[in-house]
């Protein structure tokens, strides 16, 4: 099998799954309890916080362990709006956000907030942010195209416009792969997920800057200051910590090599259009098989045990308006023919070659949807 859908999820490291099994067996106690085994279980959580803090350049106390990227995004967005609703009414986010942010925007709108979806450019954010803005959200790396948003300079705009805004960054596709310093981003919160970097599913984290107040969105126990109620998944946290440790030893230049090989060979296939920006991250490539239906190509590749995704795995059901390409104004054949190839650290150049060999067969094997493209 050739797995090229690593922005959706990744195969966990063997060491990670082994560690989780061991933790489940030996350190299964409730990490919030008062007795000694609880402290041993809690060690996994503290280790994860330290690892995350060292990558994000914050303190471990500023890291909340959550159930994943979606929970982190929901908590930051609804929690911040709830805490600041008396200071203003405007919410600004980019129009290319992940559904776990974008859909929250729609819900906030239905609750009476004025939600502005900005273009992923600095000028558009500059225009949208005013002194009644209470929340600004921007992703560091777009999950469908690999586009990098100019997130570093948004904090400056918020401050200059004297907006009482919480600044949230969705860093799920960036964490561990490109430099992510919350000190440099000057954000109030930053969400991450473990399974994007060969960690377990069902666990993630939210950096929440010290002193920044948000309200909780789930209610129950006191875990993570009441922000993430529910018994800790300490084995997964230990696995998360291990995954970060191992992932940091990987060589990110490998992604560049995979991308270069793909682009070299794609140049020989005239029906392939590259949608990802040249200065995007190297591990996400959005392409369109012009004239073809992306879904058909996907299943054709599936027959050869090569797995890629159609646009974003989360939005493959909704065609134009639902996809990032559509929102960025691409035409219908581009949107309908789109595939996302996302590299994992263990993909090889041979696997890229196998993908390209398979794609080269597409014109001979698949009927076109748009005859004149």
Partner 1 sequence: MEQLILAKCGEIVLKGLNRSKFDLMLIKNLKRSIADLGEFDISLAQSTVYIRSLSGADMEEVFARTKRVFGFAAVCMAYMCEKSMESILGLAPECLAETLEEVNTFKVEAKRSDKRFPLKSPEICREVGGELLKSFPHLRVDVHHPDVTVTVEVRDFGAYIHAVREPGAGGMPYGSNGRACLLLSGGIDSPVAGYMMAKRGLKLTGIHFFSPPYTGERAKQKVVTLAKELQAYCPGMKLHVVHFTEAQEAIRDHCSEEYFTVIMRRMMMRVAYELMKKTRSGALITGESLGQVASQTMDALQLTDSVTNALVLRPLIGMDKEEIVQISRRIGTFDTSIQPYEDCCTVFTPKHPKTKPTLRDIEREEAKLDIEGLVDRAVHLNYEIIE
Which positions are annotated as active-site residues? Answer: 314
Of 12-20, 32-40, 130-138, 254-262: span binding partner 1 (CB under 8 A): 32-40
Which of 14, 26, 54, 61: binder of partner 1 (CB under 8 A)? Answer: 61
Shortest Cβ distance from residue 90 to partner 1 (Å)? 19
Residues facing residue 136 across a β-bridge? 92, 167
Shortest Cβ distance from residue 228 to partner 1 (Å)? 16
CA pair distance 370, 373, nearest whole angstrom? 6
Residue (36 or 86) nearer to partner 1, CB: 36
Residues 179-238 that bind partner 1 (CB under 8 A): 183-184, 210
**Secondary structure in 3-state letters for 316-329:** CCCCCCCCHHHHCC
Which of 11, 111, 153, 213: binder of partner 1 (CB under 8 A)? Answer: 153
Of 86-94, 153-161, 262-270, 272-280: span binding partner 1 (CB under 8 A): 153-161
Residue (222 or 332) nearer to partner 1, CB: 222
Which of 11, 111, 159, 365: binder of partner 1 (CB under 8 A)? Answer: 159
Longest dimension (CA), the chain: 71
Which of 41, 47, 138, 157: binder of partner 1 (CB under 8 A)? Answer: 157
DSSP string, 205-263: EEEE-TT-----SS-SS-GGGGTS-S---HHHHHHHHHHHHHHTTS-THHHHHHHHHHH
Query: Nearest Cα to 201, choosing from 336, 70, 25?
Result: 70
Question: Binding string to partner 1 for residues 237 to 276, with x set by CB under 8 A, is what?
Answer: ----------------------------------------
Task: Determine if 371 is a binding residue for partner 1 (CB under 8 A).
Answer: no
Residue (132 or 304) nearer to partner 1, CB: 132
Task: Determine if 50 is a binding residue for partner 1 (CB under 8 A).
Answer: no
Shortest Cβ distance from residue 165 to partner 1 (Å)? 13
Residue (43 or 366) nearer to partner 1, CB: 43
Shortest Cβ distance from residue 34 to partner 1 (Å)? 5
Shortest Cβ distance from residue 324 to partner 1 (Å)? 28
263 φ, ψ to 5°? -65, -40
Of 30-38, 294-302, 332-340, 359-367: span binding partner 1 (CB under 8 A): 30-38
Residue (46 or 297) nearer to partner 1, CB: 46
Task: Print burial letters for 263-291: b (CB count within 10 Å at least 16), e (below 16).
Answer: bebbeeeebbbebbeeebbbbbbbbbbbb
CA pair distance 294, 177, nearest whole angstrom? 27
Residue (61 or 361) nearer to partner 1, CB: 61
Number of residues near partner 1 (by CB under 8 A): 15
Residue 115's alpha-carbon distances to 81, 110, 134, 216, 314, in angstroms, are 11, 9, 10, 21, 22
DSSP string, 97-138: --HHHHHHHHHHHHTT-EEEEE-SSHHHHHHH--TTEEEEEE
CA pair distance 243, 14, nearest whole angstrom? 10
Shortest Cβ distance from residue 288 to partner 1 (Å)? 37
Tokens of 256: 């560049």
Tell me how far apart the terminal alpha carbons of the chain are, to the nearest angstrom: 32
Residue that has been written with the tokens 């959005």 in this structure: 286
Which of 156, 220, 221, 277: binder of partner 1 (CB under 8 A)? Answer: 156
Residue (48 or 157) nearer to partner 1, CB: 157
Task: Determine if 57 is a binding residue for partner 1 (CB under 8 A).
Answer: yes
Contact call for residues 214 and 208 (beta carbons, < 8 A): yes
Residue (36 or 371) nearer to partner 1, CB: 36
Note the Cα 370 to chain centre separation in Å: 32
Contact call for residues 338 and 311 (beta carbons, < 8 A): yes
Of 34-42, 96-104, 110-118, 249-257: span binding partner 1 (CB under 8 A): 34-42
Residue that has been written with the tokens 């190509």 in this structure: 297
Query: Site residues (CB under 8 A) for partner 1?
Result: 34-36, 39, 57, 61, 153, 155-157, 159-160, 183-184, 210
């Amino acid at each position: 099998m050739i797995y090229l859908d690593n922005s959706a999820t990744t195969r966990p490291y063997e060491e990670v799954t082994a560690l989780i099994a061991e933790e489940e067996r030996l350190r299964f106690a409730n990490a919030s309890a008062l007795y000694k085994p609880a402290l041993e279980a809690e060690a996994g959580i503290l280790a994860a916080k330290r690892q995350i803090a060292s990558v994000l350049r914050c303190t471990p106390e500023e890291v909340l362990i959550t159930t994943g990227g979606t929970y982190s995004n929901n908590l930051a967005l609804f929690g911040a709006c709830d805490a600041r609703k008396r200071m203003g009414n405007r919410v600004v986010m980019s129009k290319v956000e992940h559904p776990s942010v974008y859909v929250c925007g729609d819900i906030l709108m239905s609750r009476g907030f004025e939600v502005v979806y900005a273009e992923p450019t600095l000028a558009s954010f500059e225009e949208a942010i005013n002194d009644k803005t209470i929340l600004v959200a921007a992703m560091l790396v777009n999950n469908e195209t690999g586009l990098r948003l100019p997130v570093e300079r948004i904090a400056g705009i918020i401050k200059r416009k004297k907006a009482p805004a919480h600044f949230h960054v969705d860093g799920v596709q960036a964490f561990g792969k490109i430099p992510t310093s919350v000190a440099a981003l000057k954000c109030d919160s930053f969400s991450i997920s473990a399974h994007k970097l060969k960690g377990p599913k069902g666990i993630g984290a939210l950096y929440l800057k010290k002193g920044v107040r948000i309200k909780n969105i789930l209610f129950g126990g006191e875990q993570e200051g009441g922000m993430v109620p529910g018994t800790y998944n300490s084995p997964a946290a230990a696995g998360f910590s291990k995954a970060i440790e191992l992932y940091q030893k990987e060589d990110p230049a490998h992604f560049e090599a995979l991308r270069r090989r793909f682009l070299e060979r794609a140049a020989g296939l005239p029906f392939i259009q590259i949608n990802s920006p040249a200065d995007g991250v190297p591990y996400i490539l959005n392409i369109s098989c012009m004239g073809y239906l992306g879904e058909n190509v996907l299943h054709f590749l599936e027959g050869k045990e090569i797995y890629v995704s159609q646009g974003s795995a989360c939005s493959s059901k909704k065609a134009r308006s639902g996809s990032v390409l559509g929102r960025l104004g691409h035409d219908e054949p581009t949107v309908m023919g789109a595939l996302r190839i996302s590299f994992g650290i263990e993909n090889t150049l041979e696997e890229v070659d196998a993908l390209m060999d398979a794609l080269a067969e597409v014109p001979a094997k698949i009927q076109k949807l748009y005859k004149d493209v």
